[in-house]
Amino acid sequence: MTDLRVQLFADGASLDEMIALSRRPYIRGFTTNPTLMRQAGVRDYTTFARDALAAIPDRPISFEAFSDSFWEMESQAREIASWGANVFVKIPITNTLAQPSYSLIHRLSHSGVRVNVTAVMTLDQVARAVEVLAGGAPSNISVFAGRIADTGRDPVPMMAQAVGLAAAQPQVKLIWASPRELLNIFQADQIGCHIITVTTDILNKLDSVGKNLDAFSLETVKMFHGDAIKAGFTVKGQAQLT
């Protein structure tokens, strides 16, 4: 893990988990979104965000502007940005009417707001985001590689091209978002992606990195056998050996 160039950002909305993960030096930042907050039972968006920032003041944390109208989204973004120097404001690449948010992204970035352009899934979207972020504040572009993979497409070639597009602006960092497995961390690292967001279930698999496969096989056999015994399973009509 210490040899990785890609930075690991924890993705979630449990404040206790975020605080615990902040004690791990390889966790370099945090991301969240309204869906994760809802799933975690967050009731007060502002209170949750301010509590997280008070507990973790030294690493970037992304919070999302969620209005569907661009003027209100801009107001939310500027308020969110005022909560802390380590805040990145997530702006979706479009609103729900498929209207692109490039003008808003440009306006915010060039007024000093650190933007995280989110829900990106095409190279054209990456290119346009890089274009409007040029010359602005340090920003991120979150490409949802995991969701791209969910469509049956291999995200690695596209992500490699996206890294190349982002290279035109050194203040813009590319995020491999929504990973589906631990392998994605190493794939992101190999193509030179700057950041990968990682959920707790994937982080919990880090102990398996480099594990001996024969030992892992035996461990799996023991797990199946042990669970069958604990469940009290039997095979009816099983022949008796004599």
Within-domain flag for 239: no
pTM: 0.93
Query: Mean of the pLDDT values across residues 12-31?
Result: 96
Tell me how many degrees the CA angle 38-42-47 measures, rounded to the nearest 5: 135
Query: How far is 198 from 8, CA to CA, in rounded Å?
Result: 7
pLDDT digits (tens, 9 = 90+) for 126-158: 999 999 999 999 999 999 999 999 999 999 999
pLDDT in tens, 37-81: 999 999 999 999 999 999 999 999 999 999 999 999 999 999 999
Residue 239 pLDDT more than 80?
A: no
Helix (H, G, I), strand (E, B) or coil at 134: coil
**pLDDT score of 116:** 98
Is the predicted pLDDT of residue 241 greater than 70, yes or no?
Answer: no
Residue 94 · residue 105 · CB < 8 Å: no
Distance of CA 180 to the CA centre of its chain: 10
231: pLDDT confidence band, cut at 50, 70 and 90?
very high
227: pLDDT strictly greater than 90: yes
Q: Give me the chain's average pLDDT, please.
A: 96
- Compute the average pLDDT of residues 14-27: 95
* Contact assessment for residue 158 and residue 149, using Cβ atoms and an 8 Å cutoff: no
pLDDT at 238: 76
Please report the pLDDT score of residue 153 as a whole number: 97
Residue 65: how many CA atoms within 13 Å on its side-chain side?
A: 34
pLDDT of residue 202: 94
Q: Does the residue 91 lie in any domain?
A: yes
Residue 1 lies in a domain: no
For helices 183-190 and 155-166, angle between their N-to-C axes, nearest 10 degrees? 40
Structural domain boundaries enclosing 159: 7-208
Q: How confident is the model at residue 232 (pLDDT cuts 50, 70, 90)?
A: very high
CA angle 107, 110, 116 (to 5 degrees): 80
199 Cβ contact list (under 8 Å, min separation 6): 10, 11, 12, 179
C-alpha pair distances (Å), 53 with each of 43, 81, 115, 166:
17, 12, 17, 28
Q: Please tell me the distance from the alpha carbon of residue 158 to that of residue 155, in angstroms, as a whole number.
A: 5
The residue-averaged pLDDT of 98-121 equals 98
Is residue 2 in some structural domain?
no
Q: For 152-199, how does the pLDDT look when each residue is reduced to its tens digit (9 = 90+)?
A: 999 999 999 999 999 999 999 999 999 999 999 999 999 999 999 999
CATH number of the domain within which 45 lies:
3.20.20.70
Number of domains present in the structure of the chain: 1
